[in-house]
Amino acid sequence: MMALNSPAAAAIRQTRSMYSPGHKERSKFSTHAGTVKFPSGLLATALRSFALAVLVVHSSVYGGEELEHSFANPPDSARPWVWGHWLNGNVSKESITTQLQAIRRVGLSGVTMFDVSQAGIPPGPHGYFDPGWQELFAFEIAEAKRLGLEVMSANGAGYSGNGGPWITPELASQKNCRERHPRPGRTTFFRQAAAAGG
């Protein structure tokens, strides 16, 4: 049941008064956030009805105080993530812990980890995916779990795992092409087409 003093109840009362005989100001709709001006006519009626439906549904799902509390204190599932870069294997357990604690302290809920291996970054003691690197990655996952964070990783060194010296031309990115052939009736026929150049 909706509380009589809830924002949705106030919106319903105001909308009813807007449609009452003799109401002169039909292009404004007041909310707790201020006054919204709508165009007059049929579009205004449609917009008011939509706004009212959103308010009613939203207020029935989230009470006013609960909504404010959830907005001020979002659950971890609604908090943003951040990119976390290891710079060409220059990483340690201490740096992982320090960075994850800072991420948690500022209210984020996860990290997408990249080991950026590119020209200009001196190589560190842990080459990509070597045993020491894997040990540190497992440590990062355990530390994140301890701190209530989540970790996701790119599938290769650098920003993209689909390139590098380990990818031979036959394993490189492919192009998938198809052709559309309309047929009489209701069916459409698709067939695999040869990619340009091969």
- What is the spatial distance between Cα 130 and Cα 137, in angstroms, rounded to a whole number? 11
Say if residues 8 and 26 touch (Cβ distance below 8 Å): no
Please tell me the predicted confidence (pLDDT) of residue 16.
53
Please tell me the predicted confidence (pLDDT) of residue 43.
62
Model pLDDT for residues 120-129, shown as the tens digit of each residue: 889 999 988 8
Q: Which residues contact 58 (CB under 8 A, 6 or more apart)?
A: 8, 67
- What is the spatial distance between Cα 169 and Cα 136, in angstroms, rounded to a whole number? 31
The proportion of the chain whose per-residue pLDDT surpasses 90, expressed as a percent, equals: 28
- What is the spatial distance between Cα 146 and Cα 127, in angstroms, rounded to a whole number? 26
Please tell me the predicted confidence (pLDDT) of residue 170.
80
- Output the CA–CA distances (angstroms, integers) from residue 109 to 11, 51, 105, 138, 172, in the order listed: 35, 32, 10, 18, 34
Please tell me the predicted confidence (pLDDT) of residue 133.
94
Over 70: is that where the pLDDT of 11 sits? Answer: no
- What is the spatial distance between Cα 183 and Cα 174, in angstroms, rounded to a whole number? 29
- pLDDT-derived band of residue 4, with 50, 70 and 90 as boundaries? low
The pTM for the full model equals: 0.51
Tell me the fold of 75-198. D-tyrosyl-trna(Tyr) Deacylase; Chain: A; (3.50.80)
DSSP string, 6-38: SHHHHHHHHHHHHTSTT----SEEEETTEEEE-
Which of 53-62, 65-74, 115-124 is the least confident region?
A: 53-62
Please tell me the predicted confidence (pLDDT) of residue 119.
79
Sorted by where each begins, the domain ranges of the chain are 7-72, 75-198
- pLDDT-derived band of residue 144, with 50, 70 and 90 as boundaries? very high
- pLDDT-derived band of residue 91, with 50, 70 and 90 as boundaries? very high
